[in-house]
A and B are shown apart, each in its own frame.
Chain A
């Protein structure tokens, strides 16, 4: 089943661009959720078969990243009555170009680092780094609170891909702990977003500017 890993990683990379290139928040949330579901599938593909641990992690990943978190974000979006990202700090075309540069850079950087014999030629490490960088890009350039959260989720997805190559190092308990932390984080963030939209009648984080020197 390992031959299906690289094509799926290509889809993950394409989703990065799909997230960078759109202003509709609903689409951004759905695309990051799809990435989450793919990660769950990758867990099964890479670790071959349906051992109890693998299955639980895969299911938890799909459930948390693919269902629960998007639901929370959709609800936050509906409560705040916003649909689109407006005027990101960097335009969509430019951010797509930057995304391409980041992906290229990730591939080059992964070549510089000495990879383990099994990973030479695989897309695991480059895909991970590229996704992390994409997450950063979204975080830094978007102004709506929800887009920034999606950026954080994409960043986490990138780290998850790195974790896929190292299941021994990231045992069951830790993997689940990370997922739970993520869920609680988005839950708390959802509450805060709700309060921001009530207090400021907007989710534009550029308005959060009272505190400065």
Chain B
């Protein structure tokens, strides 16, 4: 089971590579997404999923993130055929292969309980996503891909050094030298402190780069801005969540070692910094796809801030992870449609989207309200949980700053979004241009419905999953 979960997508990636038909290949991606979803549902119903002598093990947090990635990928894969049909001028062979490869490697990442294997899987996701960023084959996407590859690879190289430091902290004390998660958590109280702390700093910088936390976020606006909306959704909702999972693993090891205080302070600091940086760059942002990238920086900041606050905020952060992933799906897919309809993603040339592509524009607007934490959408609930935990535990300054920064983001993002959807469309647009179609808006509608549902009612299975994950992260069984 554990093996099938990631081998099936990888196998299909191979099949996609040798399939000659440009028309049927995208449907193969959709088939891969559907098969994966079925496998994940089966895996979630199985009490224990493990393989390779404990190297692969699906723990509660892994289950949560795997479920999110699977739903996200499935809906995005339904969008792929419609989108790729609009781009007949390019071969989609590499694109489809990489999409499925991306699914396989992210799945492997969520299952890895060996920190070395986890590193290999996460680096592989970087490599699988780079060719997708370069889909548009122009100078700007080339620049974005270069930055993404180089910054991402260097960041993750630091994470590898950090993992080795962690292993050394066990080696130094004569403990079992391994990078198996269980061994490290068990031996955590005896690990060598200076090595452990250096390791955490390196890991935080390394995996933080992959997550796109400020000040290591510089690749993000370029990468999300220049790639197709579908890739943006997968990166902002899926890949960053996996990088967050990596941080959670080390958070657990450090708290088991009694270093929780040190780790939490770092997380609160970087979390607030990320939200603040995002707020600054989102104000008067003229490129609406880059704006979404800064929104992703902001929400990654909220996730680590939630972990830093601790207590009930951990549950809030995990719920926010799900909300953010789904809301990013709405935003990136609808932004991609608007981009197609106008041939531009700058607010100077895009206005009146509600008239030109009414459904996509309405979804974009809905996604904006959802992601900025307006009731009744899901993110409101999760941000509120984090805020309340901050106030309940007496961290009033942190809570106050969070509230103020969220307000700044709301205003900044609102200005850009409203100028896109309102007004009159420019007269120079061709009449026969892109219009909303069922395949291009359908997945985004489902995403928005899910975000709305999570704000009103959390289904019991998801609630149980979230509670298990939170207590697992907090050091329970």
Partner-B contacts on A (CB < 8 A): 112-116, 132, 139, 145, 148, 152, 155-156, 158-159, 162-163, 165-166, 168-171, 173-174, 177-178, 181, 184-185, 188-189, 192, 195-196, 199-200, 205, 208-211, 213
Q: Are A169 and B167 in contact (CB under 8 A)?
A: yes
Q: Are B178 and A184 in contact (CB under 8 A)?
A: no
> Contacts of A113 on B, CB cut-off 8 Å?
194-195, 198
Residue on A nearest B226 in the bound complex, by CB: A211
Q: Which listed residue (A145, A170, A173, A177) contacts B167, Cβ 8 A? A: A170
Q: Which listed residue (A162, A168, A200) contacts B178, Cβ 8 A? A: A168
Q: Are B179 and A169 in contact (CB under 8 A)?
A: yes
> Contacts of B221 on A, CB cut-off 8 Å?
211, 213
How many Å from the CB of B113 to the closest CB on chain A?
Answer: 13
Q: Which listed residue (A163, A166, A168, A188) contacts B149, Cβ 8 A? A: A188
Q: Are B146 and A163 in contact (CB under 8 A)?
A: no
Residue on A nearest B161 in the bound complex, by CB: A159
- Within residues 165 to 221 of chain B, which ones have a CB less than 8 A from any CB in chain A? 165, 167-168, 170-172, 174, 177-179, 192, 194-195, 198, 221
Give 3 nearest A-B pairs by CB, closest first. Answer: A169-B167, A174-B116, A177-B120
Q: Are A166 and B171 CB-contacts (below 8 A) given A114-B195, A159-B157?
A: yes
In the bound assembly, the distance between CA atoms of A127 and B393 in angstroms comes to 45
Q: Are B120 and A211 in contact (CB under 8 A)?
A: no
- Within residues 120 to 145 of chain B, which ones have a CB less than 8 A from any CB in chain A? 120, 123-124, 127, 130-131, 134, 137-140, 142-145
Q: Are A192 and B127 CB-contacts (below 8 A) given A159-B160, A174-B120, A211-B221?
A: no
> Contacts of A211 on B, CB cut-off 8 Å?
140, 143-144, 147, 221-222, 225-226
In the bound assembly, the distance between CA atoms of A171 and B163 in angstroms comes to 13
B114 within 8 A of A: yes
In the bound assembly, the distance between CA atoms of A181 and B172 in angstroms comes to 28
In the bound assembly, the distance between CA atoms of A96 and B446 in angstroms comes to 58
In the bound assembly, the distance between CA atoms of A210 and B203 in angstroms comes to 31
Q: Which listed residue (B137, B144, B147, B177) contacts A168, Cβ 8 A? A: B177
Q: Are A177 and B146 in contact (CB under 8 A)?
A: no
Q: Which listed residue (A145, A159, A173, A188) contacts B131, Cβ 8 A? A: A188
> Contacts of B170 on A, CB cut-off 8 Å?
169
> Contacts of B116 on A, CB cut-off 8 Å?
169-171, 174, 177-178
In the bound assembly, the distance between CA atoms of A31 and B164 in angstroms comes to 25
Q: Are B194 and A148 in contact (CB under 8 A)?
A: no
Q: Are B127 and A148 in contact (CB under 8 A)?
A: no
In the bound assembly, the distance between CA atoms of A132 and B119 in angstroms comes to 18
B117 within 8 A of A: yes
> Contacts of B157 on A, CB cut-off 8 Å?
152, 155-156, 159
Q: Are B171 and A185 in contact (CB under 8 A)?
A: no
Q: Which listed residue (B124, B139, B168, B177) contacts A200, Cβ 8 A? A: B139
In the bound assembly, the distance between CA atoms of A158 and B158 in angstroms comes to 11
Q: Are A169 and B226 in contact (CB under 8 A)?
A: no
Q: Are B172 and A145 in contact (CB under 8 A)?
A: no
Q: Which listed residue (A169, A177, A208) contacts B171, Cβ 8 A? A: A169
17 contacts between A and B (CB under 8 A): A114-B192, A148-B150, A158-B161, A159-B161, A162-B164, A163-B164, A168-B171, A169-B179, A170-B179, A171-B116, A174-B117, A177-B116, A185-B153, A192-B146, A192-B149, A210-B140, A211-B222
How many Å from the CB of B121 to the closest CB on chain A?
Answer: 8
> Contacts of B160 on A, CB cut-off 8 Å?
159, 178
Q: Are A189 and B144 CB-contacts (below 8 A) given A114-B195, A174-B117, A177-B117?
A: no
In the bound assembly, the distance between CA atoms of A174 and B113 in angstroms comes to 12
B384 within 8 A of A: no
> Contacts of A184 on B, CB cut-off 8 Å?
124, 127
In the bound assembly, the distance between CA atoms of A205 and B124 in angstroms comes to 24
> Contacts of B164 on A, CB cut-off 8 Å?
159, 162-163, 166, 169-170
How many Å from the CB of A144 to the closest CB on chain B?
Answer: 12
How many Å from the CB of A195 to the closest CB on chain B?
Answer: 6
Residue on B nearest A208 in the bound complex, by CB: B143
Q: Which listed residue (B139, B146, B174, B198) contacts A145, Cβ 8 A? A: B146
In the bound assembly, the distance between CA atoms of A156 and B153 in angstroms comes to 10
Residue on B nearest A187 in the bound complex, by CB: B127
Residue on B nearest A149 in the bound complex, by CB: B150
> Contacts of B147 on A, CB cut-off 8 Å?
208, 211
Q: Are A192 and B168 in contact (CB under 8 A)?
A: no
Residue on B nearest A112 in the bound complex, by CB: B194
> Contacts of B114 on A, CB cut-off 8 Å?
174
Q: Are A116 and B178 in contact (CB under 8 A)?
A: no
Besides A169-B168, A174-B114, A192-B142, 6 more A-B contacts (Cβ < 8 Å) are A139-B150, A155-B154, A162-B168, A188-B127, A200-B139, A209-B143
In the bound assembly, the distance between CA atoms of A119 and B183 in angstroms comes to 23
> Contacts of B171 on A, CB cut-off 8 Å?
116, 165-166, 168-169
Q: Are B139 and A115 in contact (CB under 8 A)?
A: no
In the bound assembly, the distance between CA atoms of A174 and B122 in angstroms comes to 13
Q: Are B120 and A196 in contact (CB under 8 A)?
A: no
Q: Are B143 and A152 in contact (CB under 8 A)?
A: no
B27 within 8 A of A: no
How many Å from the CB of B321 to the closest CB on chain A?
Answer: 26
B281 within 8 A of A: yes
Q: Which listed residue (A115, A152, A158) contacts B153, Cβ 8 A? A: A152
Residue on A nearest B127 in the bound complex, by CB: A184
